Structure 1
Amino acid sequence: MLTDTRGVYIVTQTPFAADGATDLASIDTLIDFYSSHGADGFTVLGVAGEAAKLTPAEALAVAGRFIARAGGKPVIVGVSNASVAQLAELTAQVMDLGAAGVMIAPPTGLKTEEELFAYFAGVFARIGDVPTVLQDFPFSTGVWMSVPSICRLVREFPQIQVLKEEDLPSITKITKLRESLDRRIAILTGNNAMFLPLEMGRGIDGPMAGFSHPEMLSGVYRLYTQGKVEEAHALFDSYLPLLSYENQSQWGVAVRKEVLRRRGAIACAAMRQPGPRLTPVDIGEIDLLLRQLQRRLAAA
Structure 2
Amino acid sequence: MTSAVPAAPFGRVLTAMATAFHADGALDLEGTQAIARHLVANGNDGLVVSGTTGESPTTTPAEDGEILAAVRDAVGPDVALVAGVGTNDTRTSVTLAEQAAKQGADGVLLVTPYYSKPGQRGITQHFRTVVDAAGLPVMLYDVPGRTGSQIALETYAEVASWEPVVAVKDAVGDLARGVRIRDLGLAVYSGDDELNLGWLAHGAVGFVSVVGHAAGNELRALVDAHDAGDTAGALTIFTRMLPAIDAVMGVANYGATTAKAALELLGVLDNRNVRSPLVPLDDEEVAALRAGLEESGLIP
- Whether TM-score is above 0.5 comes out as yes
**From 279, 289, 292, the counterpart of 1:289:** 292
Match of 2:195 in 1: 195
- For residues 232-254 of structure 1, the C-alpha deviation after alignment (integer angstroms, 9 at most, x for no partner) is 11111112112112114533532
Distance 1:77 1:276 in 2: 24
1:100 is aligned, of 82, 102, 106, to 106
Once the two structures are superposed, residues 194-217 of structure 1 have per-residue CA deviations (whole angstroms, 9 ceiling, x without a partner) of: 111111011111001121222221
TM-score (normalised: structure 2):
0.89
Q: Counterpart of 1:204 in structure 2: which amino acid?
A: A
Amino acid at match of 2:31: S
Aligned amino acid, residue 175 of structure 1: V
Match of residue 260 from structure 2: 257
Corresponding residue for residue 243 of structure 2: 241
3-state SS in 1 of match to 2:177: helix
| Pairs within 5 Å for 1:41-190 | 41-72=46-77, 73-108=79-114, 109-125=116-132, 127=133, 129-155=135-161, 157-169=162-174, 171-179=175-183, 181=184, 184-190=185-191
Q: 1:228 to 1:142 in 2, by over 3 A?
A: same
Show structure 1 runs of 5+ residues with no match.
none
Q: What residue in structure 2 maps to residue 226 of structure 1? A: 228
Q: 1-side partners of 2:186 and 2:180: how far apart? A: 14
CA distance in 2, matches of 1:258, 1:148: 40
Whether contact under 8 Å (2:51, 2:84) holds in the other structure is yes
**2:3 is matched with which residue?**
none
For structure 2, the residue ranges without an aligned partner over 5 or more in a row are 1-6
Q: Using the alignment, how far apart are the partners of 1:12 and 1:48 within structure 2?
A: 6
Q: Is the 8 A contact 1:3 1:185 kept in 2?
A: no
4+ residue segments displaced more than 4 Å = none
| 1:66-116 CA-partner distances (Å, limit 9, x unpaired) | 122222211000001222222122212221111001111121324432222
Q: Would the aligned equivalents of 2:44 and 2:216 in 1 still touch at CA under 8 Å?
A: yes
1:16 Cα deviation from its structure 2 partner: 1.1
**Residues 165 and 288 of structure 1: is their aligned pair in 2 closer, same or farther, counting only changes over 3 Å?**
closer
TM-score, structure 1 as length reference: 0.89
The aligned residue for residue 270 of structure 1 is 273
SS of residue in 2 equivalent to 1:60: helix
The range that moved more, 22-31 or 251-260, is 251-260
Q: CA RMSD in A?
A: 2.1
Aligned length: 289
3-state SS of 2:272 partner: coil
Letter in 2 for 1:96: K
Deviation sequence 1:17-44 (CA, Å, 0-9, x none): 2222211111222122111111111101
1:165 to partner: Cα distance: 1.2
Query: 1:42/1:287 Cα in 2 relative to 1: closer, same or farther (>3 Å)?
Result: closer
Q: Which amino acid aligns with 2:187?
A: A
Counterpart residue type for residue 56 of structure 1: P
Give the superposition deviation at 1:128. 5.5
Does the aligned pair in 2 maintain the 1:9–1:207 contact within 8 Å?
yes
Alpha carbons of structure 1 residues 297 and 32: separation in structure 2 relative to 1, 3 Å: closer
**Residue identity in the other structure for 1:187:** V
